[in-house]
Amino acid sequence: MKPIIWFTVAVLMAGKAVCQIPADVKGWGKIEWGMTVQQAKTAYGAQAEDSSLEPAPAPYPIDRFTVRGIQIAEFRAIAYVQTKRDSDKVSSVVVEIGSQQDGPRVRSAHFDTAKKLLIEKYGQPKSEDRKLDGDRVNSQVIWTFPSTSITLQWVEQQGQAAFPLGYARINYEAVDKKSLDAL
């Protein structure tokens, strides 16, 4: 009888070790917050492509390069590696799931799949919110860690457009520890 008990305990402990939620997340993929753009590009090698997007107005981050060919379940994604304005240090990564040609049902599936996978990896979210504002849906799920905030978002705008506009994305962002210390 004792060997069965020890075997059961060993299986349970092994399962716990495999499913353990991280205490902190210090970046995204091969990138750690604070790396220079060049260090992050080197980490991704040939997958890293210079950004062709025009910088957004202040105070938004600047896309420095993209990482294409990311697979999330059966969906393709592109990551936009960003820095704060006037900085060479990576501080956020936005992962766009799918393409702009995807319709609302596909974007909804992207969101649901990404949420499931993020819960498996990071545990239950800190908050979840879904707002309906006329013909606009904004769903947001947030995980927080000492070094990183992760936001999964699905936005859908039906409106009068022939093609509904929307996106599903995951935003990994370095936590500004100076701001937290001020609170």
pTM: 0.81
Every domain of the chain and the residues it spans: 48-182
Per-residue pLDDT, averaged over 60-85, amounts to 91
Phi, psi of 101 (to 5 degrees): -80, -10
Q: Residue 138: is it exposed, middle or buried by C-beta count within 10 angstroms (0-12/13-18/19+)?
A: middle
Lowest mean pLDDT among 38-47, 55-64, 124-133: 55-64
Average pLDDT of the chain is 84
